[in-house]
Each structure stands twice: as C-alpha cells, then as structure tokens.
Structure 1
Amino acid sequence: MVDWAWPGTRRIEIRDPDLTGVTDINKAAEIDARRVGLSPRRVDRIWQAVEDVYRSRVHPGLSFCLRRDGEIVLDRAIGHARGVAPDCPPGPQSVAMAADTPVCMFSASKAVIAVLTHKLAETGAIDLDAPVSRYIPEFSGEGKTHTTLAQVLTHRGGFPCFPRGDGNAEVLRDWDACIARICRAPANAGGERLAYHAMTGGYILGEVIRRVTDKPLTAYLDKTLRKPLGMRYFTYGLDGRSRSRVAANHVAGMPVRWPMSKWAEAALARSFEDVVALSNESLFMDTVIPSGNLYATAEEISRFYQMMLDDGRYGDQQVLAPETVARLRRPAGRLAIDHMLKLPMRYSQGLMLGMNPVGVYGPMSGAAFGHVGFMNIFGWADPDRRLSVSLLTTGKALLGGHLIPLVKMLGQVNHECGGWRRGL
C-alpha cells in the first residue's frame, strides 16, 4: 500500500510497525471473550480495526474499551499520551498512553450532564417539562421564557452558541458570567429549531442543578455517579496531581479551511486550532464546563454506559431508576437536520441516538445510544448487541486519513458482535 497523504496533512510518526511496543493491555480486566459469546477471532478482528485507526497516523494516542454482557472484552491503549505530535516524533520526553490514561471527553461530557439532570428529575426536585425560568428566573424574555428543560436537553433551546470570542478559558471559567451572557442573549423560540448547543446548554442545566441542590455541580456528580460507579476520574476538570498523566490533544489531519473552518468556529465560538490549544491549558482543567471538559478513561466511559444498559444498575446499587433510563433513551422526535451540525441527527433528551441503515455508531445501530465528542471521541451502548463501548482519541482532525479506518472500525464492532441485520 502506498503511504499517501493530502499535502499539508499533519500526521504522527510510527516507529513500531507491529505496535506491540506502544500498546498497553489491561490483562487483569480482560476476560476470555468466549464467556460472552465472542470467539477470539472476532475479538482479534475488532482490535485490528482499532489498530488501523491508529495506523492512520492521525492520533498520537488512543484508548478503547468494549464490554459485552457487562464483561470487559477489550481494555487497551496505543501510542503516546504526551510528548508526541505531528510535529514532534517519539523521543525520550514521550509518555506512553495507558489504558487508564485520563482523556478530555469534550462534547461526550453532555451525556453526563444529561444524566445528572434526569436524576434530579427522578427525585422530584425538578420537572423536565417545566420552563427553565422556573428555576432560573432571569432566563426569560428574548424568546426564552417558555423554553423547557427538555427542549434544552434535545438541543431545541434556541441558544446554540456563545457570541464569537466568548469561548476562551478566561470567559469560560467565570461561571456566573457565562450564565449571565446566556440569559441576556436572544434566542429562537424553544422547541421549533434543532441546533446543537455545543457549550451553552450544559451551563444552563448545570446552573439549574446548582440552584436546586445548593451544591457545586462537581459535588452532585460525585454523589450521583462518580462514587456509586467507583470512578477514579470521571469529573469536570482535572486536579493537579492527575495532570502529569492526562493525554494532550493535538491538531492533526488535513488543515481545516473555509468553509469547514467557518462552520467549526460557529459551533465552538473559537477556531478549531484555538479549541485544541485551549484544552491543554491548566486554566481549562481548573474550570467546570458541563458540556465539554469531563475527564475519564475509556473503561470509565464504558462503565457509565453499561450502567444505563443495565437499566440504571451497577453492582448492588440502583444508580438510576429504570424509568429514568427509559426516558433518557427514548427518541425525542424524528430524524431531522441539525442546523448547527448540518447533519441528519436523532436525539433523546440528552443523548445522540444511532440510526438504520447507518448512524454515528456504525451500520444498523438504530437501538444504540450515547454521545460523541470533539473530535473522534465515542461512547455508546447497544442493547441489541449487548455492548458498551468507548473510543478516546487525542488527534483532533475534521478531515484526514483516519475517517475510513474509523468508519470500518465501527462497522467491525457491529458486525462481529451481532451482524448488520435489522432487529438483531
């Protein structure tokens, strides 16, 4: 095969062709997949597909975890967490990517703020069908007065993005200022237009949680999910002692040029390159961004989705009521064009849903639910295939040689774990 790339493409250097020297396997966790109905050959083909994503030379590091019937079949990482980039080959300063390396989830964080909001509704503290203004009185006027929490969860709140320039770390770390900006801004009438709320929706949901519980959002997350699920990371931001282990993010792939650059900047309130640089700053890790800076390992994300796959149960604890999980997974309307993402999308009240014949989680994934993150971060569960899966990557590329291997990997997972038949 000829090693070809579009001129100007930013790719990492691979010095270990068989990848054994840059692969970390959590052998203590991985089971014999035959116990859950998968042959070693099927598992090998899935892992080879993951390796092909790395071989695209876009991601300096990636980690992957797959559970079947609640058992860990694969929990592995490839590459480097730090010290390797498209313009920085491996060297003495490089830090290996491990299966338990924390990674910023970016927009995949939205699934967590959604679950926290649904949990608060489960306790009776809030009503998802009530207007946001019931809990945040200043969230009114300018088309927002009657916008409900459910509409915010489904990206129909009418306030999809901050004004340009409001996406830097200094602004985002000032929680009260962010809430004030959103409350002052005009909005389209809630419920009428689907437009992905990249950052803004999470702040409003988080503010409702803060006001109703009278606790910091991270404290509510700890009590509701992190501690019951036994997570080490799985929180917004990252403490100082963990930062030597965190995976750094890098601009990779083909240069992002107009018109894609304009679209990315509209969604993110910053340029593509600025978002990546911002994510590596201590300032970013110091703050709480409900829609965008949860840190977790691949195994933790798989564990989170397995809990929902098991109707809210983890071990001997009922973390969420089955009825809450059912509402989380229920489609909120039909397939529609998302006016921000410019793609046909299916959402529930907080999650991105799979589609048939093909969707964000691969072919024939109509029963799947989860969330993706900037860029090529995946976490999802598939009840038809009895899977909970996560893929965390550190190369931030909109276009590049990784796209075909990524699509093939999603297809391989679905094919090996149940086929592509409708109604598995």
Structure 2
Amino acid sequence: MPSLQQRTQSVLDELVDTGAETGLQVAVHHHGVLVVDAVAGVDDSRTGRRATAQTPFFGFSAGKVMTSLIAHLLVRSGAVGYDTPIVDVWPEFGTHDKASATLRHVLTHSVGVPAMPRAIGPADLADWPRVCAAIADAEPLWPPGTRTGYHSFTYGFLVGEVARRVTGKPMRQLLHEWVAVPLGLEGELYFGVPQTELTRLARLEDGAPRPVAPPDGDGILAPWEMRPTAAMGNSVEVLRADIPSVGTFTARGIAAMNAAVLDGRLIDAHQLQEVTAVAFEGTDQIFGNQARLALGYPLGRIGTPPDEAPTTFGWIGGGGSYVYADTTTGTSFAMTKTRLTPHFNTAQRLADLTAAEFGPQA
C-alpha cells in the first residue's frame, strides 16, 4: 500500500491538475516524526514560481494556534494564570463592566468584545496602541464568561496586550524567542514578516465567490472581519504588522510546533490536559452554531459529528487553511494553500486521509 506521504502527494497533484487548487502544502507529524511533507503547484500564479515546503503562507485564523500557544507559555512561566483578571495587568480594560474578564474568558472567546470597534478598520491594525485602546474602551455585548462568540480579530490583541504587559515584548518577538528559535523553526512562523522575507511568501488569490452570503452575525462583525480576501492576505502592511489573530507560516513549521505541544517540549502533560479539556460549550453568538471550546482552540476535527468525543484541537483559517493536533493519536496536521475558497473541502479531504492512517481503527 502506498505510504501516507505518497497518498497525500497524489491528492495534492490531483487538486492542482484539476484546477481545484493552485498551490498548497501539507505536513503531518506522528509522535514527533515528520511523516508527510508534501507540496504541489505554484505559490505565485503570476510568475509560475513553484511552491516549496519552505514557502510561508498567510493562513488567516489558522495562525491563532500560535497565539493560543503564547498564552499557554505565559501561564507556564507563572507570569499569569488562566483565571487572572485582565485588569490585573491591563487596568484600562476594566471599563464598561469588563473588570471580571479573565484570560480564560479570552481563550474561550467569552469576553464579550468579539468585534473590532467601528473606528478601527484594516488600515488601523498595524497601530497596536490605538487598537488596544479602542478594545479596552469597548462595551461588552454580554457579561464576560456568560456566552461565547467568535472574536475574529480582537482575540489576538487581547492575548497580545496581556503578553506585552507582563513581558514587555510584542507577540512577534515572543513567538520568535519562545517557539521558533527553541524548535529550530526560524523563518517558518511569523506574526509580522520582516521586510527582507516578504519575497519568500506565497501570493494568495481569491477563489470562486460564495454561492450564498455567509452569516453576518446580526451585523456584529464588520465585513472585513468575516470575509477573508486575497487583498488583505497579500497586503504588505498587514503582512508586516504584528496582528496575532492571523499569521504567516509553513505547514511544516506549524505542524512541528504543535508536535512539540503534544510531546511535552513546550508545555507539560498536566497543562496539556487542562488546555485541551472542554472549557466552554454554547451557541456561538456570531455564527449561531454550537461551539465546544478548549482553552484557545475549537475542539473536534473538521467534518466529525458534533457528538463525537473531541480529541483534536486547532484552528481553521478563512479561505481554507487548517491546523490541528490530536492528543489520542499523537498526530499534528497542517495544510496551507494559495486559493481562498468559501469551503473547507480540501482541508477535510486531507485531514480525513491522515485520520484514517492514524485513527483508532487504523
């Protein structure tokens, strides 16, 4: 039987050959061993430059796995606890009855400030002090901890400002010093891409428009917070900015990072158990779906029944990227791609292929 590497590569080649995708990467670690490192297509359809395993891709919200990890490393260091009130380190955040909000509430998207204040647009995201001041002054849509709703862009600034207040360092620096350097992943994980590295990046492209308009969350989130576009993902200003609700990475790098989470190199087994347990269940106030969240991650692999016991944690990224890890099988999976689609068909197909190889029935 062909190896998982061969089967994955065959699927990638088929997707590119049929025009379903233009360029993509898949990486899989199993018990810390890289077992899939596959790539196909081009990373820039304008020039025809071939994609490689070393090409970083802008992955939208799939980058939140890096954000959540920094939060867990802050807790590991003793700088904060999951139940530390945000106002203990960021006093300004306590306005409008938000003083009870904790880091746990941030990680379960239950703080109550899911939307960027309307004064903040995409062009303002690089202005860290302005964005954080606006979020601190925002009125919560619900009392912290009582409901959950996807905090699309506010999430990264909430985690990031807590991190900055207790360490004095921006998220891009913490990601580099705490994760990329110790794991030998320099050049593969970014919040804010250095100017000198921009030419290495894949160039995103918009796929077919959505056949049906996506849910608008009753107007809670602005359109730019809801709908990923290639223009945003290719923007030099966005790529260079420290916006830890999104990220730029290689599939190989981010899968290696999660492999290190699973095997104890970054957090210990006790903390991993706490991190991946169900921390909040309820109706997502933005999308209306039933949400089941761990600390910093949705639980359950894409496409699996909602009543199935969750063993996976990770993030999908707008446009189709996907990153997850499985505590039961010791598997870490990542998929990046250039073409932004309104569905996750490619992600599910490739994740199913991996799960079939290493699942309980394998």
Alignment TM-score > 0.5, same fold = yes
1:236 and 2:182 equivalent?
no
User: How far apart are the structure 2 equivalents of 1:58 and 1:412?
Assistant: 18
Is residue 40–residue 51 contact of structure 2 (8 Å, CA) maintained in 1? yes
Matched, 1:310 2:296: no
AA aligned to 1:162 is M
Structure 2 match to 1:389 = 333
1:329 and 2:282 correspond:
no
Task: Write out aligned runs for 1:282-297 (5 A).
Answer: 282-292=236-246, 294-297=247-250
CA distance in 2, matches of 1:268, 1:308: 33
Amino acid at match of 2:23: G
- Partner of 1:139, secondary structure, is helix
2:299 maps to which residue? 353
Question: Number of matched residues?
Answer: 360
8 Å Cα contact 1:63/1:99 also seen in 2: yes
**Partner of 1:5 in structure 2?**
none
Amino acid at match of 2:323: G
Residues of 2 paired with 1:330 and 1:366: CA distance? 9
Tell me, yes or no, if structure 1 residue 224 matches structure 2 residue 178. yes
Structure 2: how far apart are the matches of 1:368 and 1:125? 27
CA apart distance, 1:53? 4.2
Alignment of structure 1 residues 19-418 onto 2, 5 Å: 40-55=2-17, 57-84=19-46, 93-164=47-118, 166-168=120-122, 170-187=123-140, 188-233=142-187, 234-253=189-208, 255-256=209-210, 259-260=213-214, 262=216, 267=221, 269-270=223-224, 275-292=229-246, 294-311=247-264, 313=265, 319-334=266-281, 336-354=282-300, 358=304, 366-399=310-343, 403-418=344-359
CA distance in 2, matches of 1:191, 1:222: 31
Q: Offset of 1:228 from its aligned partner?
A: 0.6
Residue 183 to residue 258, structure 1, CA distance change in 2 (3 Å): farther
In 2, the alpha carbon distance for the partners of 1:129 and 1:375 equals 33
Aligned AA (2:178): T
Pick closer, same or farther for the CA change 1:272–1:58 going to 2, 3 Å: farther
Deviation at 1:163, TM superposition (A): 3.4
Residues 21-60 of structure 1: CA deviation (Å, up to 9, x unaligned): xxxxxxxxxxxxxxxxxx5355433443444444563432
Shift of 1:357: 8.3
What secondary structure is seen at the aligned counterpart in 2 of 1:243? helix
Contact 1:165 1:269 (8 Å CA) reproduced: no
1:193 maps to amino acid: R
Query: 2-side partners of 1:157 and 1:97: how far apart?
Result: 39
Question: Tell me, which stretches of 5 or more residues in structure 2 are unaligned?
Answer: none
- Identity, % of aligned pairs? 25
Letter in 2 for 1:250: E
Following superposition, the deviation at residue 157 of structure 1 comes to 0.7
Compare CA radii of gyration and give the structure with the larger one. Answer: 1
Distance 1:343 1:101 in 2: 34
- Give 3-state SS (helix, strand or coil) of 1:152's partner: helix
Bigger mean CA deviation after superposition, 174-183 or 274-283: 274-283
Partner Cα distance (2:62, 2:157) in 1: 15
Structure 1 unpaired stretches of 5+: 1-38, 85-92, 314-318
Q: Does the 8 Å CA contact 1:167/1:269 hold for their aligned counterparts?
A: no
Q: In 2, are the aligned partners of 1:147 and 1:157 still within 8 Å (CA)?
A: yes
The Cα of 1:164 is off from its aligned counterpart by 4.3
* 2:35 aligned counterpart, secondary structure: strand
| Residues 244 and 297 (structure 1), Cα distance of their counterparts in 2 relative to 1, 3 Å cut | same
